[in-house]
Amino acid sequence: MNLLFVADPLELFKPYKDSTFAMMREAAARGHVVWACEPAQLHWQRGAPVRAAVRRLVLSGSLGPDWYEASDAEVRGLCDFDAVLMRKDPPFDSEYFYATHLLQRAEADGARVFNSPRALRDHPEKLAIMEFPQYIGPTLVTRSADDVRAFHAEHRDIILKPLDGMGGMGIFRVNADGLNLGSIIETLNRQGEQTLMVQRYLPEIVKGDKRILVIDGEPVPFSLARIPQGSEIRGNLAAGGKGVAQPLSERDREIATAIGQVLAPRGLLLAGLDVIGDSLTEINVTSPTCFQEIAQQTGFNVAGMFIDALERALAAGR
């Protein structure tokens, strides 16, 4: 099969840890042909399908900068590929939003796109948890500074974060003394112009912010607990957290199975759930990561499970 990955620039990949690279490597090992382009290379013109300037990749086996060789770019319709995998990293900004519309137009041309462009738009990564209140801790979404102050007065120890952050960016903790709460609210909501999320602080974070991968509705049997280091409250690997793979708990599996059965029929072949203790905190659908960290520590082939699911979906016409 010919698989097109819509992703960040290839020269920015870190092959020793990149989940998209793990997908490419597994696909190539099975004899599939790997192609790549960036969202900026997608285009549409009246009378033609959505097309892109794409390059065919040959993987070298290296984990260094020379991890691939690429052909010269050629313009091809996305419908010419057996599958298109949207793997552009957040932020989910205006350009990402526009890319999903181009990808949805490509679906109308006959392209098979994973994750579904419509589902990507319908499941913003912070707000998607609102559909599953039975699995989350106390949470508030608001623009109102008064709402935030009332939430703090009730819960005393809270986390505030922007809705468009990634990798732990812009996350603040305010404990019972309320120190700098006003300044943090001003920073995040910009005088009421931007919506933010507030959650009760979960002390279980010291044991890790667990990334649970769900593939075609089924949880990967291991999570990656991203454990804050030093004085940090954030477990995100991008913020210096230490990743420790561990088997799913009974509660982890309950959450992941229930949510996976909802998300998979909507076209979300891959999702990454963030769980602290027994509470769901985020649902990541743009380009969930941690494939390689889990595989390296446990021997479980996460990329193999993903490509299996992709092959099944294509064979079934999903």
Positions marked catalytic: 126, 161, 211, 226, 234, 274, 282, 284
The structure tokens listed for 161 are 């974060």
DSSP alpha helices (H): ranges in 58-110? 94-109
In angstroms, what is the C-alpha Rg of the chain?
A: 20
On whether the CB atoms of residues 92 and 166 are closer than 8 A, the answer is no
Contact at 8 Å (CB) between 290 and 220? no
Q: Report the Cα–Cα distance between both ends of the chain, in Å, rounded.
A: 16
Q: For residue 52, which of 22, 78, 82, 30 has the smallest C-alpha distance? A: 78
Where does 73-162 show beta strands of DSSP type E? 74-77, 83-86, 113-114, 139-142, 158-162
Q: How far apart are CA 26 and CA 306, in angstroms?
A: 9
Among 161, 54, 33, 50, which residue's Cα sits nearest to residue 102? 50
Kindly state the tokens that stand for 79. 């419908």
Structure tokens given for 22: 């793990």
* Angle, CA 238 vertex, CA 237 and CA 242 arms, to 5°: 25
**Which residue is it, tokens 């990293």?**
89
- Which two structure tokens, joined as six digits, stand for 111? 């392209």
HSE (CB half, 13 Å, CA atoms) of 55? 15
